[in-house]
Amino acid sequence: MTVKNAFYAQSGGVTAVINASACGVIETARQHSDKIGTVYAGQNGIIGALLENLIDTSKVSAEDVAALRHTPSGAFGSCRYKMKSLEKNKREYDRLIEVFKAHNIGYFFYNGGGDSADTCLKVSQLADAMGFPIQAIHVPKTVDNDLPVTDNCPGFGSVAKYIAVSTREASYDVASMCATSTKIFVIEVMGRHAGWIAAAGGLAADANNDIPIVILFPEVEFNQEKFLATVDAKVKKHGYCTIVVSEGCHYPDGTFLAEQGTRDSFGHAQLGGAAPVVANMIKDALGYKFHWAVADYLQRAARHLASKSDVEQAYALGKAAVELALEGKNSVMPAVIRDSNNPYTWHIGSGELKDIANVEKMMPMDYITEDGYGITDACREYLQPLIEGEDYPPYENGMPKYVTLKHELLPKKLPAFEL
């Protein structure tokens, strides 16, 4: 078997555990140096391949590679860049082949969400379409938890843990003040179309924590009158109410509560500000004093509160991606397959990218309570194992100790390329 080098890149919004997948890829590739030469990481995702900005990970010490497992964000830089089809932009695919040939790259590992799966699928088709052999394996990652085939996505479990903990802690705060002050706390979480993260807020309440929580899911059309009546009833009963609102919460006509009227590079409506919209709606209608917060990057960067199962799965999926490539697989994604809830057991399987790219996995409606504002027991049984276990990073001087890699780029062999 001819030894080929590998290309690895991170794409889309980063997470608390995406570097754990990078660690799994690099460490496993190093264990098979007779088949995989050097792993070159793309600086800022697929853009690194197009611009021939390749980071030589062989220059990274084993200690620093291992430290990636407990370091949040994207160690090699990420991007939001969706490649068009081969028919619409052959120029970029020609460039990829030039770069891959110049650096003897035969393996392509792309670590990201749905759009990244689409890019990986397109790259996997280069062999047939352009006569260039390359094995493309997608490494799943998305806090939105909306990839099909896999039971859950690396990054989600840690975000879910952060939101569940934050919702509980903030609720305790509001409960202590509600007699004479704040009665409403609103926390806005990520989730454009799928309400998995919002659902995690429901874990804050349990048999020992009677917390009044209202969840606003993207899957449930927003009914203002019903919502206000529900909040008012909870305040009258408990003295306060906590609202977890997904950024993708929308009115029946499809308009997002948080829509800004602008769009991102993928054509998605840019969102932000559902929490103040909801809080002021309550203030205007009911007169209750409020506080609100937007979890934003905090929820996906919180490695100090990462779920142990999430870290383990992120690493395992990076490792499995390399093993699938060594088995000769192409156009596939390793996936988490759940065996049981209690005790929580799982194994690694795989799925075809043609069944994964551009497909969003929404929350099942039987995970949402009949009134549309809470999670069912079935949802709780699904979510609970994903937030369990602690995997604290090492600390130094009271702060988590993370690794920052020096990006040592390979010398360029090709002419410059403009995106």
Known catalytic residues are 144
Which one, of 123, 124, 135, 39, lies nearest residue 81 by Cα? 123
Measuring CA to CA, how many Å separate 213 from each of 109, 127, 201? 41, 52, 8
> How many other CB atoms sit within 10 Å of the CB of residue 166?
22
Measuring CA to CA, how many Å separate 106 from each of 30, 203, 320, 401? 15, 44, 17, 35
Distance CA(221)–CA(311), nearest Å, equals: 34
Are the beta carbons of 37 and 3 closer than 8 angstroms?
yes
- Quick one: tokens of 281? 């709606």
- Quick one: tokens of 149? 């085939």
Are the beta carbons of 340 and 137 closer than 8 angstroms?
no
Distance CA(327)–CA(89), nearest Å, equals: 31
Distance CA(239)–CA(176), nearest Å, equals: 10
Task: Report the half-sphere exposure of 210 (CA within 13 A, side-chain side).
Answer: 4
> How many other CB atoms sit within 10 Å of the CB of residue 234?
21
Q: What are phi and psi of 121, to 5 degrees?
A: -60, -45
Are the beta carbons of 194 and 161 closer than 8 angstroms?
no
Per the DSSP assignment, residues forming a β-bridge with 186 are 243, 292
Distance CA(39)–CA(57), nearest Å, equals: 6
Distance CA(114)–CA(357), nearest Å, equals: 6
Helices (H), 268-307: 274-286, 296-301
Measuring CA to CA, how many Å separate 411 from each of 27, 47, 99, 370? 24, 16, 12, 60
DSSP label at 58?
A: G
Distance CA(47)–CA(45), nearest Å, equals: 5
Are the beta carbons of 109 and 10 closer than 8 angstroms?
no
